[in-house]
Amino acid sequence: MLLFREKIPPDWLPKVLGDLPSVLIDHAHLERKAATPSINLEKYHDLFPRVDELNAIAIEELQHFQLVLRILKKRGIPFAQPQKSPWITGLMRSIRNGVRHQVIDHLICCSLIEGRSCEKFQLLAQALETIDPELSTFYASLVESEGNHYATYYLMAKDLDPIETQTRLSFYLDLEAELIRLPNRLAMLH
Ligand SMILES: [Fe+2]
Ligand SMILES: [Fe+2]
């Protein structure tokens, strides 16, 4: 179901493997930030019938956040300031105004962020198998959940307006392909 138009740049994996403590801090913030859009989406009238599902995502993301915090603690890595992700900012910046437009764009952005997380967690789980089995198991355990979030957000948009969703998905996939190619020297998930 993952439809991305660009591969993850080849330098991403060696960069993150080279600085796992920074990646774990970034990951903690990513999970924290993932809990907020699902709650923010509940303000849209169109999504009132989906409030329970959105709450379930928010709760799951907070649980993920807790799990990462626990790993940080166990490894003696102090929780620190988040780094800004030009990739996430670039996607979110393109959300249009206007209630229906905004909700569709917002859902697609969330879907793509979840989709890339799912893809990257899978890569990390494989790459860490021998280097850091504990972390490998942890990343593998998140893949299904992030994949479900990806699909849920996409299907919510499609249920509201299938034609608009296809048009905007195509726009966002092109934008995402551009953004993922931007160089980023920091060890971050996105
Ligand atoms: Fe998560
Ligand atoms: Fe998620």
Q: How many CB atoms lie within 10 A of CB 70?
A: 12
Q: How many CB atoms lie within 10 A of CB 133?
A: 10
Q: How many CB atoms lie within 10 A of CB 95?
A: 17
Cβ 160 vs Cβ 105: under 8 Å: no
Q: How many CB atoms lie within 10 A of CB 185?
A: 7
Rounded to the nearest angstrom, the distance between the alpha carbon of 59 and the centre of ligand 1 is 10
Rounded to the nearest angstrom, the distance between the alpha carbon of 146 and the centre of ligand 2 is 4
Claim: this prediction has a pTM higher than 0.85: yes
Confidence (pLDDT) at 116:
97
CA of 65, nearest ligand number: 1
Q: Is the pLDDT of residue 3 over 90?
A: no
Q: Is the pLDDT of residue 1 over 60?
A: no
Rounded to the nearest angstrom, the distance between the alpha carbon of 34 and the centre of ligand 2 is 6
Confidence (pLDDT) at 2:
65
Average pLDDT over residues 61-86: 97
Domains of the chain, by residue range, sit at: 12-180
156-180: burial string, b at 16+ Cβ within 10 Å, e else:
bbbebbeebbeebbeebbebbeebb
**Residues near ligand 1 ion, CB 5 Å cutoff:** 31, 61, 64
Average pLDDT, the chain: 96
Rounded to the nearest angstrom, the distance between the alpha carbon of 75 and the centre of ligand 2 is 23
CATH 1.20.1260.10 fits 12-180, yes or no: yes
Cβ 134 vs Cβ 80: under 8 Å: no
Q: Which of 1-10, 130-139, 181-190 has the lowest mean pLDDT?
A: 1-10
pLDDT tens sequence across 146-176: 999 999 999 999 999 999 999 999 999 999 9
Average pLDDT over residues 106-113: 97
Average pLDDT over residues 127-152: 97
